[in-house]
Amino acid sequence: MTRWVDGYALGTFSDGSGEFPGLVSGERVLPLQEWETVRDLLEDWEAASTRLPELASTLAAGDGRSLAALSVRAPLRPRQILQAGANYRSHVAEIVLSGREPDDTRSDDEVRRDAEKMMDDKVRTGSPFLFSGLPAAICGPDDDVLLPAESAQVDWEAELTAVIGRTAHRVPRERALQHVAGFTVCNDISARDLQFPAEHRPLGGDWVRAKNRPTFLPTGPFITPITVLPDYRQLAITLDLNGERKQSDVAANLLFDVEALVAAASAATTLYPGDLVLTGSPAGNGGKWRRWLEPGDVLEAGISGIGVQRNTCVEEPR
């Protein structure tokens, strides 16, 4: 697909002879030969980030290589992936409405108001729900998504994703964004019928089988530095299925914002440069539409200021 980057961003590219990290601006890519991978660059983020604007200016003069002539890969391979669940007001309200008991006599508006109060109370007194993902699930922004034969309910979840740029442990909320290098796009593909099997339900969800299969985490196309973006709360998150809009929201509607998520994740573990913190997905998943992914479906998950990924669903080879 045709891509254009306002400002500049980081990515991993291939010219057929190997992968390399690059700085992309407009439609040009500057190979960053000083670092072997984007994760190596993030390990050196404090020094590297100060050089990026100057390097980007050379692309405006026509240096570098054509983006259209390169394949765009997943921007990096993190050590760790932390994910937030049920973290958009629209999504939580949707879950509450769809899960109401048959004898619930409240109107939809009353259910939504009660859900809003519950969410406000949770933000004030509770904590985000976090779980871990596996880097082996990552695929690139243009790669095929493999649909496993054992699932008939594979779903989508477009998510704004924070990329860590400085090691973080027990970071307070007010300093959390200092540890974020930038943002990328992830699509948390999930096999819903494998997520809460009856045999394991007393122990919670089966997150490995449901969410961490090969290609179940399309990532990219790029990492846009936090200094290049406007306030992340203004970013629009969308997902189109075969050209039809299924998800649309803005990051301002996160229950627990990026600062809260990074603080909570860093209190539970140590975050390292290149780690990903997925912030949750808006309403509009397959369960709402009673529509699950099928071979031939095309998913386009995008975030304003960062870019769009385009993944085609195919049957997983046996």
- Is 94 a residue whose pLDDT tops 80? no
CA-wise closest residue to 30 among 22, 21, 20, 38? 22
The reply to whether 269 falls in a domain is: yes
CB-CB contact of 63 with 28 (8 Å) = yes
- Is 282 a residue whose pLDDT tops 80? yes
Structure tokens at 90: 């629209």
Same domain, residue pair 304 and 252: yes
Average pLDDT, the chain: 93
- Is 283 a residue whose pLDDT tops 80? yes
Structure tokens at 26: 């407009």
Same domain, residue pair 166 and 295: yes
- Is 200 a residue whose pLDDT tops 90? no
Q: Note the pTM of the prediction, 2 decimals.
A: 0.93
Same domain, residue pair 54 and 134: no
pLDDT digits (tens, 9 = 90+) for 133-169: 999 999 999 999 999 999 999 999 999 999 999 999 9
- Is 91 a residue whose pLDDT tops 90? no
pLDDT of residue 120: 74
Same domain, residue pair 19 and 163: no
State how far the Cα of 318 lies from the Cα of 306, in Å rounded to an integer.
35
The reply to whether 108 falls in a domain is: no
- Is 32 a residue whose pLDDT tops 80? yes
Beta strands in 47-194 (DSSP E): 65-66, 71-73, 81-85, 129-133, 138-139, 145-147, 154-155, 158-164, 180-187, 190-191
Same domain, residue pair 136 and 224: yes
pLDDT of residue 97: 65
pLDDT of residue 99: 66
More confidently predicted of 273 and 86: 273
Same domain, residue pair 69 and 186: no
Same domain, residue pair 188 and 281: yes
Which CATH number do you get for residue 157? 3.90.850.10
Same domain, residue pair 140 and 156: yes
Same domain, residue pair 147 and 51: no
Q: How many domains does the chain have?
A: 2
CA-wise closest residue to 310 among 139, 74, 142, 71? 142
The reply to whether 109 falls in a domain is: no
pLDDT digits (tens, 9 = 90+) for 37-81: 999 999 999 999 999 999 999 998 789 999 999 999 999 999 999
More confidently predicted of 94 and 275: 275
pLDDT digits (tens, 9 = 90+) for 215-230: 999 999 999 999 999 8
Same domain, residue pair 42 and 60: yes
Percent of the chain with pLDDT over 90: 81
The reply to whether 85 falls in a domain is: yes
Domain range for residue 247? 81-89+128-315
Same domain, residue pair 31 and 85: no
Percent of the chain with pLDDT over 70: 96
The reply to whether 139 falls in a domain is: yes
The reply to whether 35 falls in a domain is: yes
Residue 311 has a CB neighbour count (10 Å cut-off) of 22
The reply to whether 94 falls in a domain is: no
The reply to whether 101 falls in a domain is: no
Same domain, residue pair 57 and 85: no
Model confidence at 112, in pLDDT bands (50, 70, 90)? confident
